[in-house]
Structure 1
């Protein structure tokens, strides 16, 4: 099954410029069409800028008027990808996202990648970090992260954050070591047929800190929009928003809606 097309919102701003450049590299990796949507009414001023920013990769530019989030979400399919740029904000508002980003993270039928204008756009290849609970895990997040790692010929770092509670230090150390062993076995079994090398990282404490530490040199950070455990929050929650605002790399948020995991798992099996 096709990986779907890559959609990117573009208005000529520094954040949108970074998003379009990254989207072109991602579309090239996937070998899929790239579509840039301008929905601000300023497309007459953009000229051939979208084509130049795509670095030679074919890009279709479509101009629309109306609500940006509604148009962008409608342009996406469950098998595709939506890429958005968001401007860096003062520290006092670091947990605030723009209205378009918030709406798309809630309603887009596909994974959404958010890129700040200050995001470090490293070489598209490299390792991928993901927030994944194991040994139960979250299928759609693992599938998306594994695919991104495979496209980049890189390692997948699966970060499991163990909450720090009123537990004896020795017991906590033993539980962490046991989870780490389980993580190795679980990831190896889940990804055996993909060729993706995955490394579990069990950390104690707040997930935000662990994810930011392990994405310091990553090509991409992958998170889930919803987790029933409550460890990873969504819609978008403060943990996701914090990572988008603070991570040095692009952040992908994977939806967990009825039918999405089935689609993702189906593609995962067929691509093996």
Structure 2
């Protein structure tokens, strides 16, 4: 059974995250921990009308088989944490597209979630609606995207969506040996990076033979390459290194660059997440 923790503060972004969770919970056996968050970033004030009953009712209506558990509000400065401590398999929160980094950090640091540093974190922008676009995943040239690829492939298989593999490359700085400059040709560099996509696609085909795979080799920065496809994606999945108790990689340059402009949910998957991963991606 999947366990989803939803940080909910009654804001428009939280409503979008709630809808995302309800759709996912309806797919199969799921426990949803609805954690009431009271923050200073546009959500519900401690003295405001209670919107959490409606959130709980929506979850029960749209995912009647799910186990829904409600946790008390977390009050105070979101940067100082609160009293809610729950286990998670997936952590979901809404983000304000106008202030994505601020709201993302607030959403994840306002709870004490035991395993938040080891689980995928899904950040859903306010107003987002799923229309069945492909799942997009960034493929790095090291092992940092292995768990992200595994997560994205599972999502594509579960939703019958295609899986878009995006790998970015740039020409390396010429190296020098003696007095001669050693310059790689663009064709050689492109072929080398294309092989990284081939390896990822081969792993997906072996693990999820029914998933249709699209390959995109882009000459650009990693964040810019992913943002090209964000408007046509059901989600963008990024690998992240662990960064303490708070969600992995939210302050890293790629995740930060994508969060500023992504028009779809962004999923940050720590490299050591408990998923079956390819060994060479």
Q: TM-score range by the shorter chain?
A: 0.7 to 0.9
Partners of 2:258 and 2:83 lie apart in 1 by: 22
SS at match of 1:138: helix
Partners of 2:31 and 2:221 lie apart in 1 by: 38
Q: Which has the higher strand share?
A: 2
After TM superposition, give the deviation of residue 109 of structure 1 in Å.
2.9
Partners of 2:225 and 2:95 lie apart in 1 by: 23
After TM superposition, give the deviation of residue 107 of structure 1 in Å.
4.5
SS at match of 1:248: coil
Partners of 1:72 and 1:144 lie apart in 2 by: 30
Partners of 1:214 and 1:22 lie apart in 2 by: 20
1:153/1:264 Cα in 2 relative to 1: closer, same or farther (>3 Å)? same
1:155 aligns with 2:155: no
Alignment of 1:117-136 (within 5 A): 117-118=126-127, 120-123=128-131, 125-134=132-141
Contact in 1 for aligned 2:143/2:271 (Cα 8 Å) = no
- 1:223-244 deviation line (CA, Å, top 9, x unaligned): 11229xxxxx935213212212
Residue of structure 2 equivalent to 1:265: 276
- Taking structure 1 as the reference length, what is the TM-score of the superposition? 0.76
Residue of structure 2 equivalent to 1:86: 95
**1:76 pairs with one of 57, 66, 87:** 87
1:150/1:73 Cα in 2 relative to 1: closer, same or farther (>3 Å)? farther
| Structure 1 segments unaligned to the other structure (5+ residues) | 228-232
Partners of 1:98 and 1:189 lie apart in 2 by: 32
Q: Which has the higher helix share?
A: 1
Residue of structure 1 equivalent to 2:106: 100
**1:57 pairs with one of 60, 63, 76:** 63
SS at match of 2:136: strand
Residue of structure 2 equivalent to 1:180: 194
**What's the C-alpha RMSD, in Å, of the aligned pairs?**
3.4
After TM superposition, give the deviation of residue 97 of structure 1 in Å.
4.2
Partners of 2:83 and 2:117 lie apart in 1 by: 8
1:5 aligns with 2:3: yes
After TM superposition, give the deviation of residue 130 of structure 1 in Å.
0.7
**1:17 pairs with one of 12, 15, 18:** 15
Alignment of 1:105-254 (within 5 A): 107-118=116-127, 120-123=128-131, 125-134=132-141, 138-166=145-173, 171-195=185-209, 196-226=211-241, 234-254=249-269
1:98/1:133 Cα in 2 relative to 1: closer, same or farther (>3 Å)? closer
Contact in 2 for aligned 1:81/1:111 (Cα 8 Å) = yes
